[in-house]
Amino acid sequence: MEHDSAIFSIFVVFAGAAVLATAALYARQAIIVAYIAVGVLLGPAGFALVEDTAWLDEVSEIGIVFLLYLLGLNMVPRQLLQMFRAATRVTLLSSLVFMLIGIALAFAFGFRGWEATVIGAAMMFSSTIIGLKLLPTTALHHQHTGQIMISVLLLQDLIAIVVLLLLQGSAGERGFSDFARQLLALPIVVLVAYACEHWILEPLMVRFDRIQEYMFLLVIAWCLTMAELARVAGLSLEIGAFVAGVALANCPAGQFIADSLRPLRDFFLILFFFSVGAALDPAHLSGIFLPAGILATVMLLLKPMVFRRLLRWQGEPDKIAREAGTRLGQISEFSLLVAVLAAQVGALSARGSSLVQLTTVITFVVSSYYIVMFLPSPMAISDKLRQD
């Protein structure tokens, strides 16, 4: 069997992840770190058992889609609108602060002009996967924390789309026209979702709710259909999936949907973390370890503090503000996409792109490690902190 076959690649990913995750659990370490380590060891820069990771990048995004879908199922629309209004100022102010800090540090590292601006822009976002996969949803306290976080993260998602469109526009593509289309697309996607849920999905669920296989098929089709509709409209897959979940938030079958899709979500998220590790090439990173370490350290220290202060200013209790800030205290998978696209259009050098990628992975590792060690989480090291 060829080493680049899909079956062999999946075998390598999950067998390697199982071995390292077992070792991590015995050593009481974070298993997300183990997934990234497997990508580094077995990916192209390591033993090269998985050489072509491009297809993994695409497939693993399904895990993010299902993650947002499940989170949407826990968001009552009226409460969500209130949280969006409250989170707008927090998101805009925090994004501005992180961008300015990123630009200042980029200048200190020798980057100028567009490069420094792109590096600063990549610092604005927090990771949807790290922040929300490690958040329990059973306790009311964490449900409210999740509402705050998903509001901030989705608004960051929209800002990230604007950044990507500006980068495309700098390459001569249709940046402005696409941006205008997206401004119109979001309310249309929401209206389509609620119309289809009310007139099509809900009657089907009521009629065939006893056939679990059909229900499982229906809710997956609904999630992926809305995700694809959002993509065609110029939005992200994640936004479409989240809208699909929110549209079903008041559905009696919500708990069944959530329980059915969690294993599927975890399957694809393991592929995502492997692809993050596999994208790292030590040969290209040797000259930027110090700048990346400094940039990552600054962001890991400042992001929780900034979010905490802004959330307290917004009226949130200190306990919730501190925990939400800590859980949002890393850089995002969107930053990886910004770095890659900016390098493709010539707005960022290979050195600058590698800086953003390595900084992002460092914050992934440190933030996830801290959360599973000291905060309630489905993957917590301590039995006392482990909550789903």
pLDDT at 275: 85
Kindly state whether residue 242 falls inside one of the protein's structural domains.
Answer: yes
Residue 75, token pair as written in the block? 């968001």
Instruction: Note down the domain range covering 145.
Output: 57-374
Contact indicator for 70, 142 with CB cutoff of 8 Å: no
pTM: 0.77
- Concatenating the DSSP letter of every residue in 166-223 gives HHHHHTTS-HHHHHHHHHHHHHHHHHHHHHHIIIIIHHHHHHHTT-HHHHHHHHHHHH
Q: What is the pLDDT along the chain (388 residues), one digit of tens a residue?
A: 455 578 899 999 999 999 999 998 887 777 888 888 899 899 888 888 988 777 877 787 788 788 778 877 877 777 677 777 778 999 999 999 999 999 999 999 999 888 999 999 999 999 988 887 888 765 545 677 888 888 898 888 778 877 876 776 665 545 556 666 766 888 899 999 999 998 999 899 989 888 888 998 999 999 999 999 988 887 778 788 888 988 888 777 777 787 788 888 888 888 888 888 887 777 767 788 899 999 999 999 999 999 999 999 988 999 999 999 999 999 988 888 788 778 877 889 988 988 998 999 899 989 988 998 888 887 777 777 777 6
pLDDT for the residue 138: 59
Supply the pLDDT for residue 360: 92
Q: Is residue 51 part of a domain?
A: no
Position 33 in a domain: no
CA distances (Å), 93 to each of 17, 44, 89, 161, in order?
A: 38, 39, 6, 18
pLDDT for 141: 52
From the number of C-beta atoms within 10 Å of its C-beta (0-12, 13-18, 19+), residue 320 rates as middle
d(CA 254, CA 245): 9
366: left (phi over 0), alpha (psi -120 to 50) or beta: alpha
Residue 212, domain member (yes or no): yes
Does residue 381 sit within a domain? no
Examine residue 35 and state whether it is found in any structural domain, yes or no.
no
Vertex 305 angle, CA 239 and 138, to 5°: 50
Q: What pLDDT does residue 1 have?
A: 44
* Domain-embedded: residue 44: no
Q: Does residue 32 form part of some domain?
A: no
Measure Cα distances from 131 to 64, 233, 312, 318, 345 in Å.
12, 27, 19, 18, 30
> How many structural domains does the chain have?
1
CATH number for the domain including 156? 1.20.1530.20
